[in-house]
Amino acid sequence: MEIRINHITLHNFKGVRGDRTVTFNGRNATIEGDNGTGKSTIFDAFTWLLFGKDHQGRDWTNFNIKPIDPATKETIHGLDGHWVEAELTIDGGKKTLRRVVSEDWVKPKGETERVLKGHTQQFFIDGVDCGTKKNYDLAIHQWIDEDVFKIVTNPLFFIDDSFTPWQQRRKILLSSVGYNAEAVAKDFADLLKEINGTPLEQFRKQLAAAKKAQREDVEKATANIDAWNAALPQEQDTAAIIADIKRLEGELAPKIDELNAKIAKADKSIEDIAAAAKDRRDEIASKNAQILDLKKKMEEYIAEGLKSQTTAKSDRIRAISEASTKYETAKAELKSLEVRERNLQTNLESLNVARGDEAARLTELGKKYSAERDAAFTPDVETVCPHCGRPYPEDVIEAKGEQLRAEWQTARLNAMREIQSRVPGIRAEINTLDQSITATEQRIRETQDAIKSKLAEIDILDDQLRAAMAAPEIDTREAELRLRKSDGYIELSDRADALEREINDISNNIASPAELTADRQRYLSEIYRLREEHEKAVRPYNDKLAVDNERKRILGMIADEEGRRALLTDELARLERLEVRTLQYIKASVDACEDAINAAFRETRWKMFDTTLDGGIVEMCEATTLDGVPYRSMNDAMRTICGLDVIRVLSEANSVQAPIFIDNAEGVTRRDFGTGAQIIRLVVKEGAELTVNQE
């Protein structure tokens, strides 16, 4: 793809007010002029036309494309649009492009002055409106990629860090020139196996992260070991401590054994007393059972003697209860019947009132019907015209009278039919009410008969209740006193009293183990006291043993942590070796890259890595001159020459040529740069107006 500029026109663009056309005719050219005359503006116009950005890559909304008023230093608004148009030769064919920005002014409702609402854009190819920016950009992209365009039109864009980072620069060089990676891979088969297809940058990040984590773990392990060593108790004579504890235990044991023997002796005596007491308690339980049996017989004796009187008393109470229940039930039923009769009487009254109302309505309708039937026609016919005052002819008066009679007769018949239509409904309602009245009166009579029957029943039940209550009451108290004084009852009572006295005698002779229990408790208290004194005496020795155990525990933790630290250190060393190996691989790859890349350049060499003071390898991608002067130390002319060398190589790699703008070209004396692209030199010439010289 080859692009050349034939001519370009700027309209109200940056420093240009009105139109300015610059003609190149597809040839190399030199644009001369003093600072501020608009040399760079032409470069900005070309890049803005294609991509909407200036030659430094800034979007047009971030740089001002509008002219500035020299007097006020303010942007000039209200012009007839801002546009750039260029005729290009693209692979031998001509294309005309135009990009237009117009201000959108509106007058808000209620305001008198217009305000700037925003901007609109238009895009044209060969005079045809593309419709949208997307369509325009798509057409441009078919000719040249924006990133490639920046590189092949500006000598400094690729080699200057302010435009292209070194990582991107190296990536482009490797993809454009390439190198033989297989030769390097043979010497680093072990490393590539470790990498296992992971991208090298990602592998290095993973390696750095693993090294950092491993180093932190080593530092943490070292800190733990130092802390535990600082907290490590001093070593003690454990054997002497254990001997002292055993000595104290030997002094305690005989005393405890002696007290335990006394406790065992007391326990034996308590058991003997408890066994004897159990026999006596069993005997007491037997006698208590005999007493209960005698008392049961005494109650049965009384019950048998009062059996006939008790039965008669129960019969009287039951007869009174049954008669009273029947009497109260009959009274409740009577009350329910009386309530029912009152409700029926009320309902009957309501039915009679309703029937009287319906009968009155029927009578009223009969009167209305008779009145309509017996009514006579009384004609009221006009005989004089109300307008002219002349009398109507007789035949007219007669016709009017007949018409009025017909209308009156129709209305009379309709009224009579309407009255007749209402009569059947009223009679049906009266018939229904009569049936309800008859039924209600029958229910009232039935209820009144039931009330009379219930009143008779209540009188009978009242007589029965009075008869039951009139039966004489039976008093069993005197009979019970006579039975308690009888010989049979007294014999049973005396036998029970004798057994209770025997129980009292046995209870008084049961021995108590209280004294032995007190002795036993005293022996236990002595044992507790001796053990407390022993624990108090042994506690310092146990504390020393605890310190010794803590020392052993900490020593074990230190040993485990030192073992873990050794493993961590070994792994850290392995990672560091792997990192060195990776850097060596990068260096070898970069050496191969440098050789392959530098072979493609005539004026430029590339430094792809550097070494640090500690021997480490640092990746980079910096242009140098043939004799090794780095880009940062080059003069402006040498930077431009190296940049043009880069454009030559990358243009060939991408099969594209586009106009190259060389800014500050007055310092570059060389004219042949080994590229077939159109070259436009921007030369500062003090005091000169802007001129274009074709070559």
CATH number, residue 337: 1.10.287
In a domain, 114, yes or no: yes
pTM for the full predicted model: 0.47
Of the candidates 529, 616, 547, 634, the one whose C-alpha atom is nearest the C-alpha of residue 580 is 616
What pLDDT is recorded for position 568?
Answer: 87
Planar angle of CA 373, 374, 376, nearest 5 degrees: 110
Return the H-helix or E-strand segment holding 375: none
Checking if the pLDDT of 319 tops 60, the result is: yes
Checking if the pLDDT of 266 tops 70, the result is: yes
Structural domain for 428, as ranges = 309-470
Rounded mean pLDDT of the chain? 85
* Identity of residue 445: R
In a domain, 688, yes or no: yes
User: 412 Cβ partners below 8 Å, 6+ apart?
Assistant: 372, 375
Checking if the pLDDT of 475 tops 70, the result is: no
Checking if the pLDDT of 377 tops 80, the result is: no
Specify the pairing of strand 660-662 against strand 679-684: parallel
In a domain, 237, yes or no: no
Question: For the residues of 621-672, what is the DSSP string, one character each?
Answer: EEEE-TT--BGGG--HHHHHHHHHHHHHHHHHHHT-B-PEEETTGGG-----
Checking if the pLDDT of 303 tops 80, the result is: no
- Of 450, 470, 490, which residue constitutes the final position of a domain? 470
Which of the four pLDDT bands, split at 50, 70 and 90, describes residue 178? low
Can you tell me whether residue 520 is helix, strand or coil?
Answer: helix
Of the candidates 267, 12, 268, the one whose C-alpha atom is nearest the C-alpha of residue 119 is 12
In a domain, 65, yes or no: yes
In a domain, 518, yes or no: no
Output the CA–CA distances (angstroms, integers) from residue 594 to 172, 191, 597, 601, 625, in the order listed: 13, 21, 5, 11, 14
**Residues in the chain, total:** 695
What pLDDT is recorded for position 687?
Answer: 85
Bridge partner list, 21: 9
User: 212 Cβ partners below 8 Å, 6+ apart?
Assistant: none
- Of 470, 500, 525, which residue constitutes the final position of a domain? 470
Q: What is the mean pLDDT of residues 545-572?
A: 86
- Of 470, 498, 514, which residue constitutes the final position of a domain? 470
In a domain, 444, yes or no: yes
What pLDDT is recorded for position 634?
Answer: 92
Q: What is the mean pLDDT of residues 468-496?
A: 77
In a domain, 53, yes or no: yes
Count CB-CB contacts under 10 A for residue 124: 16
Instruction: Write the CATH number for 75.
Output: 3.40.50
Number of domains in the chain: 2
Cα separation, 153 vs 241, in Å, equals 92
In a domain, 101, yes or no: yes
Checking if the pLDDT of 217 tops 80, the result is: yes
Cα separation, 156 vs 173, in Å, equals 15
Checking if the pLDDT of 119 tops 80, the result is: yes
Which of the four pLDDT bands, split at 50, 70 and 90, describes residue 531? confident
pLDDT > 90 in the chain, percent: 20
Cα separation, 7 vs 146, in Å, equals 21
What pLDDT is recorded for position 512?
Answer: 59
Our CA dihedral for 561, 567, 569, 575, rounded to 10 degrees, sits at -150
Checking if the pLDDT of 98 tops 90, the result is: yes
The strands making up 93-106's β-sheet, listed across from edge to edge, are: 19-23, 3-11, 82-90, 93-106, 115-125, 128-129
Convert the pLDDT of each residue in 74-91 to its tens digit: 888 888 889 999 999 999
Higher pLDDT, 101 or 516: 101
